[in-house]
Amino acid sequence: GAMGGSASLIPRDLLGEYQELTFLSKQEILLAYKRFSELLPKEERENACSARVPKSQILTLPELRANPFQHRICHVFSTSEAGDDSMSFEDFLDMLSVFSDSATSDVKSHYAFRIFDFDNDGTLDRKDLEQLVNCLTGQGEESRLNSAEMEQLIQNILDESDIDKDGTINLSEFQHIVSRSPDF
């Protein structure tokens, strides 16, 4: 049947390379390939390895549909030069790899940091933290914090995490918090 043929669409040497470069098993990579090609129009599925899936399609994945950071996740994992946050198969694999249970906490916290760094400047400042809190509390009026509560919360986060007291959280400070609270 058609299913049987799907494995052969990833050349064997590439499959081995993907296994070395990700935290995914061979089965997971083949399943990822199947899922990725199903996001493409039928006529592009033959060449899924070289096609790009638009962000609008990526956002339909069950893992991302309810994720408050879906746009940031697409942005961080996309290598699109057009800046449209579309994904190649390799981008898609990277994303699944980081979110897999086998990824190390160091890798996970590194990507979490990049996802939370809304302005992409390499540190989490008050503005980033405010957007982070808004993403987590949802956009509904009743769940949103008022400005005093927001200010207090951000101050608490900085007091806890900003070791060098420069008013921002850098990657090593962030990884330090994460290592203290693994369920974070």
Question: pLDDT-based confidence at 120, cuts 50/70/90?
Answer: very high
pLDDT given for residue 7 in this prediction: 46
Q: Domains (ranges, CATH) in the chain?
A: 14-99 (1.10.238.10), 105-180 (1.10.238.10)
Above 90 in pLDDT, residue 118?
yes
Above 80 in pLDDT, residue 4?
no
3-class secondary structure per residue, the chain: CHHHHHHHHCCHHHHHHHHHHCCCCHHHHHHHHHHHHHCCCHHHHHHHHHCEECHHHHCCCHHHHCCCCHHHHHHHHCCCCCCCCCEEHHHHHHHHHHHCCCCCHHHHHHHHHHHHCCCCCCCECHHHHHHHHHHHHCCCHHHCCCHHHHHHHHHHHHHHHCCCCCCCECHHHHHHHHHHCCCC
pLDDT given for residue 8 in this prediction: 56
Q: Tell me: the pLDDT tens digits for 10-60? A: 889 999 999 999 999 999 999 999 999 999 999 999 999 999 999 999 999
pLDDT given for residue 1 in this prediction: 41
Prediction pTM value:
0.89
Q: Tell me: the pLDDT tens digits for 48-92? A: 999 999 999 999 999 999 999 999 999 999 999 999 999 999 999
pLDDT given for residue 182 in this prediction: 65
Q: Tell me: the pLDDT tens digits for 134-152? A: 999 876 777 788 999 999 9
